[in-house]
Amino acid sequence: MIKLTVVDRDDTEQEIEIPTDINLNLMEVLKASEYNVLATCGGMALCATCHVQVLEGLEQLTDAQDTELDMLDTLPDAGTDSRLACQLKVNEQLDGIKVKIRGEEA
């Protein structure tokens, strides 16, 4: 199991456990866990409404690709620790990370 911590917009924290063999991205997991994530484009890195801030574990994630970086550049509150949840595939790299939901609410 992959365990990660999610901090919602109201600063409540919850640990989520995800099976290692699931073929989803973090945005899909957040939506399935009933977090209020807009995800307008459905995971295509075209809207940035699944913006998360990586509070812990950024160094263990793969680098953001150009498409993701271009979308993050459109956000006034994006920082060097920002990622799009739709671009983070659920795998061992997510184990132990802590993210804060920043994107628009649904």
Q: What is the mean pLDDT of each run of 10 residues along the chain (106 residues)?
A: 97 96 95 94 94 98 96 96 97 97 85
The answer to the question of residue 78 being in a domain is: yes
Residue 50 class from Cβ within 10 Å (0-12 exposed, 13-18 middle, 19+ buried)? buried
The answer to the question of residue 9 being in a domain is: yes
pTM of the complete model: 0.95
The answer to the question of residue 106 being in a domain is: no
The answer to the question of residue 72 being in a domain is: yes
Residue span of the structural domain in which 91 resides: 2-101
The answer to the question of residue 97 being in a domain is: yes
Q: What's the Cα-to-Cα distance from 31 to each of 25, 27, 86, rounded to whole Å?
A: 10, 6, 11
